[in-house]
Structures are given as structure tokens and as C-alpha cells.
Amino acid sequence: MEVQVDKNKENYLKIILGLLSMTFMIYVGSTIFKKVRVDFTQENLYTLSKGTKSILSKLDSPIKLKLYYSKTAANKGTEGLRAFNNHFLYVQELLRQYVGNSRNNLSLTIIDPRPDTPEEEDALVYGLKKFNLTETERYFFGLVAENESGTEKIIEFFDPNQKDKLEYQLTKLIYTVLNPQKKNIGIISSLEVMTEDLSPYMAQIMRMQGKNVDESWMISKMLGEFYNVKSIDKEADAISGVDTLVIIHPKGFPEKTLFAIDQYLMKGGKLLVFVDPLAVSDRSGNTGAISSSPDIGFKKLMDKWGVEAKGNTFAGDKYLSGIGRFNPNMPAGRLLALLECNEQCTDTYKDNITSGINKTTFVYPGVLTTKEIDGVKHSPIISTTDKGNSYIAQNYELNNPSALWNKFSEGSEPVVIGYRSVGKFKSAFPDGIKKDVDKDKKDQKSKKDDEKKAVLKESSKESAIVVFSDVDFISDQFAFKETFLGAAVANDNSTVFLNSVEALTGDIDLMSVRSKGRINRSFDVINKIELEAEKRTADKVKEINGSIVRFQNELNQLGRKANDGNIAVLQNEGVRKKKELAKKIAILKKELRMVKREGREKIEGIGKFFQYLNTLFVPLIIVGFGIFYSRKRSRLMQGRRIVKTEDSNTEKHSNRMTEVNI
């Protein structure tokens, strides 16, 4: 008995030890092998890009990442809120990748801030976005990055709609923690983009006096909120102390300025360039003359970058053309000159500058082409759809919408209006420029009539240039709208501008962090049916409205014919027509309901078909197979039984055989 008890104890001990060792093995193995993984997703959602890895490799001091996610609150919330759990898992997984690639410099803490706890207070102090779910329950989903010296940067809220940009956001956050100082942006332009700002009071007085008040462009004011912005003189000899140089409508720059820009680039400076074959925002020139850029001087620079902007050539797209008018007397219509870019223009390129942009309005955008330059990589960032094309138009045709449409034909390839070029560039002034020296100095240095500047013939390090073939899209007229609260953003134009500056101001590695891209996984078949139904509905509605208009016209005509003699007859006629119309409208409305119902029923039919297919089809096959198989088996068994019974009769072993069959 005692031996039995000991044996049982031993067994229990074995099982407990086995469970413990299993737990430890799993724990240790999971920790060690976590890094070895294969990402099977089409978009490589869980794989960090080279740029991110490169930035992480530069980390040399610890950074704490605190991911705030109100998981408990989300689980208590609505179905919609619970859907955020999936995005949280994605963010968490990606952050773990960051930690895994940081050589232990990043640490991740996941915090579920419950109401009235220090964690919740911290989340509020950090400035994370909060959503009140109930009186007490608050929802947070943000990230705080903190370095040793106390620099904090946050992502106040993770928007699931920006899933494709998540890696860029996270890498940027880490980059800004590493480089917290405000960056310097220089703006050089042939237009009055930055003026000496008057006080609002003075500006108001000047306006009241009927004077023109030159104000800085809104985009330069917006830029000032995030960066130190300074205006670079059009005749600058040298450009320094600037992280990114914004060049708007480059024309008429003297050679020394072009040389300064060239040398700035050679030193590793970054350029954001806006050229335009027709800048409607430039009102400085003579009436009737068109203002275009780049001029010959600047073209020389662009040639060295491998980017060409064609003169008098414009990008158009029938399917992206906007509705507008050239002057108030014209009826509004589709204008080829207005290019309203949506996600079709950007999705293919998966670039962080344009990713997620779905409404950017360009005005007479030009066409950019590139040529191969050793060590330079050109990537398009925005274009027309593949049905877009380029067209050449002369000055006198530009204000005539129908003339432009006549020149346009549908293309088969996208026309690029924004390029990003990264690499080591060659100087457009390899021999420098000749510099005039003051006469008195000339006397002192009589041996030298000219003096050559020290010239960098090639970029000392990798640099980047972003070029757009439109200037107007960042002007106040097309990027902003007036509201009673002041100017407000009208579309995504200013976002494209700010994204470009942001991308250029960061590290080259940060620029190479691509957007993951979005692959449309919606039900195409259903969408198609819905679109078809919508189209047919719209046609029916149009038909009904047309009938009503025709009836009104007929009534009006009758009214005009009316006189004392025939008024009674016409009244009867009117009533008869009204009844006819009512009948016709009733029939059309019935048809409209039918069309709507047909579409709905078609979708519901598909839904039901797949529901039955997935719930009943295979089970029915299995039942059928089961019945068939069991019948076959029973027939087989019966056959065997007969054979075996015959055998048993001869061999007299019937009892054993029956047992076997059972």
C-alpha cells in the first residue's frame, strides 16, 4: 500500500516537473527565437525597411518607448472600438521589431491606463489624445519616446487609417528624439513668398486705405510653426546654416546665386524645388505674358540632377480634371488645366511624401522627365493616372478650355509631376564662376583679374532633391480657402508641401523608409454591383427629373397660349397632363425602387450563396459520403459474412467467425 502511495507521489512529481520544464522551455525558447521570423504578408507589413534599421543602428543611448493603449476600455467598448485591438497588435509587433533591431538601446513598455491611476495622469501630461468613452473610462492609443536627457516626443494617437505610414511615423519619432533641435529652412524664390510681415493692425489700415498689402504665403507661415524659416536673398553669394532649401519658381537668379545653390547641394544640402511652365500666382509680370520656370540658368542645374521640366508642356488627365471656370462670365465646366490628384496618383509610388494624400489640386502642372545619372536614383512620387497625357499649349490657347481639350488625347502611361532624386550629384559649375572683384581690390591684386572660388565638383555626401512641376498648388489661392475664422486648409496641397520639407529635413535613411502601401482588399464584385445600381438609380432619377421639367415647360407653354376664350379648355388640358405626369412619375418611381431592390437583392443573393456554400455544401458532401461509405462497408461486411459462414459450415468454426465480424 505504502509503495502504491509513493508511486503516485512520484507520478505527480513527474507531471509537475514536466509542466514546469515545459513552461521554462517555452519561455526561454520564445525569448531567444523571437527574432527569427518570416513575414508572409504581401505588403511586408512586419518587416522593417533598410532606412529604419540604419537609423536604429545609429542609436548609442537608451530610449524608452511607452505604448499607451487602453485595452481594457477597448474590450468594454463597442465593436468598432474593439477593432482597434487589431491595430494595437500591429503597432506592438512593429515596435517589438524596433526593439529587436536596436542593440538593446530601445525598451518597450506597454501601459493600459486605467481611470484615476498615475498611468492615466502620465498619459494626459504627455499630451496623448484622449477619448471619453464613459464618465470615468478614457481611451488612449499613443506612444511616448523618451531619451536619457529627458527629451520627449510623442505620437498622440495611432490612426488605423494611416497604417501604411506607421513605420515612417515611428522611425521619425525616434529620429526626432535623437535630433531634437529645430531645423532651419531657407526659402528662395522669384515670387514674394516671404515678405516682412506687418502687424495685422497695420495691414488692416493699409487695406482700408486701398493699398496692396504683400503678405507672406500661408505655407511659409505654416512652416514657421515647425521650423526656423529664413528668406534667402535672390542674389545670395552663398547659402549656409540651412538644413533644407526651398526653391520656388526659380527664374532670373544671377549666376552667383545658382552657383551658391549648386555648392549648397554639393555640401550635402537638400533641395525642395517648385518649377512651373505657367505660374498663375506670379502677377508681377506684364499682363498677357506667361510666367514660367525654370529659366535657362536653372535648367543648367537641373540638367546635372537628371531632371528635366519641359517648357510649354503640361500634364493633363481627363479623369482627374477639376470643375471650374477661367473667369466669372464663363459657365463652370471640366478644366484640363485643373488636375485634382487622388490616391490613384500616389498609391503606386508608396512614398511617404504623398502617401495617404487624396486631394491635391494642381494648376497647369508641367511634365517632369528624368535621365540616368551615375549614383543618383530618381523615384516618381506623384503623377497622373495611366490615362493621363502631356499636351503642348501656346500662350493664346491657355485661357481657352475647349482648345486645351482639343489638344488632349488619352495616354497609356502616367505623366509624372513630382520626382524625388537621391544620391551624389555632380556640380553644374565644375570650374567655378568668375567673380568680379572691386576695382580697388583689383589694383591690390593686379596679377589676378578674376578670382575663382573654391569649388566642390561632386557631392561630398548623399543628398536629396524633391521637384514638383507646379508652383500654384502651394499658393494661398489654391491651397487655402477663406472662412469666417480666417484662412483654412482647402485640400492636401499644404500637406504635400509640409511632408516634402519634413522628409528632406530628416536623415537620408528616414527618407528611404517607404510607405507600406495599401492594397485594396474590399469586395470588388460587390462594389461593382453597387456602382452599377447607383448608376442606374442616377439614370432613373435623371429621367424623373427630366419628365418633371418637360411637364413644367408644357404647362408654361399652355399658360402662354391661355386667353379668355380657351382658358377652361387649357385648364382641363393642364389637369390631364398633370395626371399623365403623375402616372408616369409613379411608374418611374416604381422602376427606381425596382432598380434599387435589384442591386440590393443581387448583393444579398451573393451573400446568401456564399453563406450556404460555406455552411452547407461541404457538410452535405460529408453526409453523402458517410452514407455511401457505410453502405459500401455494410455490403462488404455482408459479403464477408456469407463467405465466412460458408467457411464455418465446412470447417465448423462458425462461432469464432461471427465474433470477428462483430
Partner 1 sequence: MMDRTVKHLFMKEFSSYFKTPLGYVFLVIFLFGIGYLTFEPGRGSFFYMREASMSSFFRYIPWMFLFLIPAVSMRLWSDERKAGTIELLLTMPVTIRQAVIAKFLASWAFIGIALAGTFPMIFTIVYLGNPDLGVVFLGYLASFFMAGALLAVGGFFSALTKNQVVSFILTVCVSFMLIMAGSPPILDFISTFLPKFFVDLFESLSVLNHFDSIERGVLSLSNIWFFTVMITCWLYGSMILLNENKAN
**Contact set with partner 1 (CB under 8 A):** 7, 11, 14-15, 18-19, 21-27, 29-34, 36-43, 45-46, 71-72, 75, 79-80, 86, 89-90, 93, 112, 519-526, 606-607, 610-611, 613-619, 622-623, 626, 629-630, 633
In a 13 Å sphere around the CA of 195, the CA atoms on its Cβ side amount to 13
**Which residue, among 418, 416, 320, 397, has the nearest Cα to 361 in the 3D structure?**
320
- State the Cα–Cα distance between residues 610 and 617, nearest whole angstrom: 10
Contact 466, 272 (CB under 8 A): yes
Nearer Cβ to partner 1 (94/219): 94
Q: What are phi and psi of 392, to 5 degrees?
A: -100, 130
Nearer Cβ to partner 1 (525/569): 525
Distance of CA 284 to the CA centre of its chain: 35
Nearer Cβ to partner 1 (47/369): 47
Distance of CA 462 to the CA centre of its chain: 26
* Three cell numbers written together for 73: 476600455
- State the Cα–Cα distance between residues 194 and 1, nearest whole angstrom: 98
We find the least distance from the C-beta atom of residue 476 to partner 1, in angstroms, to be 40
We find the least distance from the C-beta atom of residue 385 to partner 1, in angstroms, to be 19
Q: Residue 114, exposed/middle/buried by CB under 10 A (0-12, 13-18, 19+)? A: middle
- State the Cα–Cα distance between residues 356 and 532, nearest whole angstrom: 27
Nearer Cβ to partner 1 (344/379): 344
Nearer Cβ to partner 1 (110/581): 110
Cis peptide before 294 (omega within 30 of 0): yes
We find the least distance from the C-beta atom of residue 619 to partner 1, in angstroms, to be 4
* Three cell numbers written together for 163: 497604417
Nearer Cβ to partner 1 (90/226): 90
We find the least distance from the C-beta atom of residue 40 to partner 1, in angstroms, to be 4
We find the least distance from the C-beta atom of residue 142 to partner 1, in angstroms, to be 18
We find the least distance from the C-beta atom of residue 181 to partner 1, in angstroms, to be 37
Q: What is the DSSP letter of 293?
A: B
* H-helix or E-strand spanning residue 311: strand 307-316
Q: What is the DSSP letter of 458?
A: B
Q: What is the DSSP letter of 426?
A: B
Nearer Cβ to partner 1 (454/660): 660
Nearer Cβ to partner 1 (252/626): 626
Nearer Cβ to partner 1 (20/213): 20
Nearer Cβ to partner 1 (7/635): 7
Q: What is the DSSP letter of 485?
A: T
We find the least distance from the C-beta atom of residue 38 to partner 1, in angstroms, to be 5
We find the least distance from the C-beta atom of residue 114 to partner 1, in angstroms, to be 10
Through-space distance between the first and last CA atoms of the chain, rounded to whole angstroms: 41
Nearer Cβ to partner 1 (319/523): 523
- How many beta carbons lie within 10 A of that of residue 64, not counting itself? 15
We find the least distance from the C-beta atom of residue 75 to partner 1, in angstroms, to be 7
- State the Cα–Cα distance between residues 595 and 457, nearest whole angstrom: 69
**Which residue, among 431, 418, 459, 421, has the nearest Cα to 306 in the 3D structure?**
421
* Three cell numbers written together for 570: 387649357
Nearer Cβ to partner 1 (104/520): 520
We find the least distance from the C-beta atom of residue 22 to partner 1, in angstroms, to be 4
* Three cell numbers written together for 280: 498663375
We find the least distance from the C-beta atom of residue 182 to partner 1, in angstroms, to be 38
We find the least distance from the C-beta atom of residue 46 to partner 1, in angstroms, to be 5
Nearer Cβ to partner 1 (94/337): 94
**Which residue, among 527, 518, 583, 108, has the nearest Cα to 346 in the 3D structure?**
518
In a 13 Å sphere around the CA of 231, the CA atoms on its Cβ side amount to 16
- State the Cα–Cα distance between residues 120 and 429, nearest whole angstrom: 59
- State the Cα–Cα distance between residues 532 and 527, nearest whole angstrom: 8
We find the least distance from the C-beta atom of residue 82 to partner 1, in angstroms, to be 8
3-state secondary structure 165-182: HHHHHHHHHHHHHHCCCC
Question: Which residue type occupies 79?
Answer: E
- State the Cα–Cα distance between residues 263 and 266, nearest whole angstrom: 5
